[in-house]
Amino acid sequence: NNLFLRGFMILLLSCITIQLNFCISSIPSSLKALHLEGHLSFDEVGLSQASRDFGNRYHAQPMALLHPKSVSDIAVIIKHIWNMGPSSQLTVAARGHGHSLQGQAQAHGGVVINMKSLIAPRMKVYAGELPYVDVSGGELWINILHETLRYGLAPRSWTDYLHLTVGGTLSNAGVSGQAFLHGPQISNVKQLEIVTGTGEVVNCSEEQNHELFHSVLGGLGQFGIITRARILLEPAPTMVKWIRVLYADFTAFTRDQEKLIYMENAFDYIEGFVIINRTGLLNNWRSSFNPQDPVQARKFKSDGRTLFCLELAKYIRMEETHAVNQEVMTLLSHLNYIPSTLFVTEVTYVDFLDRVHTSEVKLRSKGLWDVPHPWLNLFIPKSKIHKFAEVVFGNIVTETSSGPVLIYPVKKSKWDNRTSVVMPDEDIFYLVAFLASAVPSSNGPDGLEHILNQNKRILEYCEGAHLGVKQYLPHYNTQDEWQAHFGPQWEVFLKRKSVYDPLAILAPGQRIFQKAI
């Protein structure tokens, strides 16, 4: 009897295994049978590229890569996977420019959608009153800049680096030095077209399907794929006056930053960064930034002191140069920086916005671009920024040679709390971004292990000191951590997921939900 039972069990198990293998191997053929305007590819080179990102630390290989030519291609694939039901393990990740840091645009064994191949509809600028541009979700911001400039217009809010896609930055927030004035990029979108996790194509805005509209903005790709976006524009400047000044006193630095973000018609861009244990700084800047007082500037030595650099920009629109120069000098006279450290340069608007790409070209030529990037981005409430700076810049971070450490305040009133993005609970909060590049195989302070350990210490300190800090471009390993990140917004996030992507097909690389929830 026992022997019979054992034999039966073995037979049953092998049947299940054969059936499972059959299911898995038949998935590509069921995908291959779909009618698409674009195409699916299964070649090793493409799949291996889709398993990499800018962070260069997480690698999950998909089973197929979709190169869509139309929105309908994306809808067909998702609907097909949705129809397979919860027993299929297939997931879908939109991949913009793949500049995530921890595998957020990857889908292990799933389908990755190469959003950059979705070029339809073509970019279309509306140049009338309240101008805007309609773009594909896979469009790069740099292309949008060049296209809109042909009409003398440009988007109002940017990221520091423009070789990122619309869908990729709108899934996070899109924050840069213009955010104090216009809010993040997600505050500058009028309309979206979305393919939801059930394969439906939906138009949404403040007025139409507003719940989906707000869910997707800052939604980490969890509720739908952004296939088209309508982005607000403003008249573009031609030139930019770009200014850097230094502070040794953190209180004076933040006081000036906070004063500036409330001044009307003052600057168009406000950021800042921290300099720890560097020497020869002023020499490094001389090639692009001219000191206002060269004699005094030459005498200034950073000598390894911790310094805070305020970075400002004032846009110049046609023949205003003289007036802008005077205005800038008046504005600067209200600030408390170290007088000999006023550095000014004037560049074209395109050169200003595309500044990080210039560094990219240099780093690529030295083989230093495709290295691991253990970045840490935090939103810190204004009331806690001094405590944070004292401990983190005083004890934890001992030098900033691995990459810039940005620090600048934004106003919460410019952010929409109906979107999915998570912010601290205060009217002003700071973005503090540790943007390190790890030197491969180094065991020193510029090595991956050291930087990751430093990030861990920063996070542990924030947690232990109850600073109310939130991660930007968040990354967690457990659902409990995600729940803590979202706090009171978790229930809403969960409910939205159950409506727009009930099988948890989308953006598995964020590791918030597992298919099926």
Which residues contribute to the site for ligand FAD (CB under 6 A)? 53-54, 93-100, 104-105, 115, 137, 159-161, 164-165, 167-169, 171-176, 220-221, 225-226, 356, 473, 507, 509-510
Residues in the chain: 517
Closest to ligand FAD by CB, 55 or 291: 55
User: Are the CB atoms for 392 and 378 separated by under 8 Å?
Assistant: no
- The CB-nearest residue to ligand FAD is 167
Compute the least distance from the CB of residue 489 to ligand FAD, in Å.
18
Closest to ligand FAD by CB, 216 or 439: 216
Q: What six digits make up the tokens of 358?
A: 């210039």
Of 29, 45, 37, nearest to 69 by C-alpha is: 37
Set 59, 146, 160, 211: catalytic member: 160
Closest to ligand FAD by CB, 332 or 439: 439
The 3-state DSSP class for residue 195 equals strand
Compute the least distance from the CB of residue 208 to ligand FAD, in Å.
18
Cross-strand pairs, 290: 344
Whether residue 271 lies in the annotated active site: yes
Set 99, 182, 214, 450: catalytic member: 99
> Using CA atoms, how far apart are residues 179 and 412, in angstroms rounded to an integer?
10
Pairing of strands 111-114, 92-95: parallel
Of 229, 235, 230, 239, nearest to 127 by C-alpha is: 235
Compute the least distance from the CB of residue 142 to ligand FAD, in Å.
11
> Using CA atoms, how far apart are residues 56 and 448, in angstroms rounded to an integer?
11
Closest to ligand FAD by CB, 164 or 432: 164
Compute the least distance from the CB of residue 99 to ligand FAD, in Å.
3
Closest to ligand FAD by CB, 53 or 256: 53
Provide the b/e sequence for 464-473 (b: ≥16 CB within 10 Å): eeebbbbbbb
Set 134, 271, 446, 501: catalytic member: 271
Cross-strand pairs, 242: 313, 345
Compute the least distance from the CB of residue 6 to ligand FAD, in Å.
47
The per-residue DSSP string of 295-358 comes to: HHHHH---TT--EEEEEEEEEE-SS-HHHHHHHHHHHHTT--S-GGG-EEEEEEHHHHHTHHHH
Phi, psi dihedral angles at 62 (to 5 degrees): -80, 175
Whether residue 160 lies in the annotated active site: yes
Whether residue 258 lies in the annotated active site: no
Helix residue spans in 50-171 (DSSP H)? 71-84, 141-149, 166-170
Compute the least distance from the CB of residue 120 to ligand FAD, in Å.
14
Tokens 């109906």 -> residue: 418
Closest to ligand FAD by CB, 341 or 510: 510
Active site residues: 99, 160, 271
